[in-house]
Amino acid sequence: VFSSLSFLTLLVDFVFGDMFMLWSYRFECSYKVLDELPDRVFLCSRRGAAHLDDVMGARLAISTEVTGSAWDPRYSLIADIRGLLCELRRPRLEELQELIETFQESQEDFGFFSVKCFSSDRPNYAALEPDIPIRDLEKIIEIHRKQYPWTW
C-alpha cells in the first residue's frame, strides 16, 4: 500500500510539476533595455517567448510620442513600480468596450495607477531632452496641446 501511494504521489508530482515546467518553457524570455523613460519606465526588446503573443494577444503599437522611436513587435514597455516589474500594454478595443459595459452596469469607478512618465511641462519623448532650448520646448508643448486636448 505504501509503495503504491508513493508511486502515485511521484506520478502526480511529475505530471503537475515537471511536465508543466516543460510546457511553460516556451514563455521563457529575457529583456534588453533600449531606452529609459522617466519614473522607471523602460523601452525593452524581448528575446525569446516566441509563443507569448499567441496566448496573450499581439501587442498594439505604442506611439513615437511615448517611445521616441518606431514601434517594433519585439518591443515592450516595462515599468518598475516599487520593485514590481510590469509590462505596460495598450488595451485592445474589445477590452475597452468590456470596461465601458462593466462601468455602465455597476457605476463603480475603475482604479488605475499612473507612472507619471510625462507631465504638462514634458508632454512627450521629444520634450525629455535635457538641453532642449526653451523656444523648442514651448513649440512641442503647444503642438501637443493641439493634438491631444483631452490630456490637458
* Number of structural domains in the chain: 2
**Could you write out the DSSP letters of every residue in 22-43?**
HHHGGG-EEEEEEEEETTTEEE
pTM: 0.67
99/65 same-domain check = yes
Domain containing residue 49: 28-111
pLDDT for residue 64: 80
What single-letter amino acid sits at 3? S
- Mean pLDDT of the chain, nearest integer: 83
The tens digit of pLDDT for each residue in 134-148 reads 888 888 888 888 887
93/150 same-domain check = no
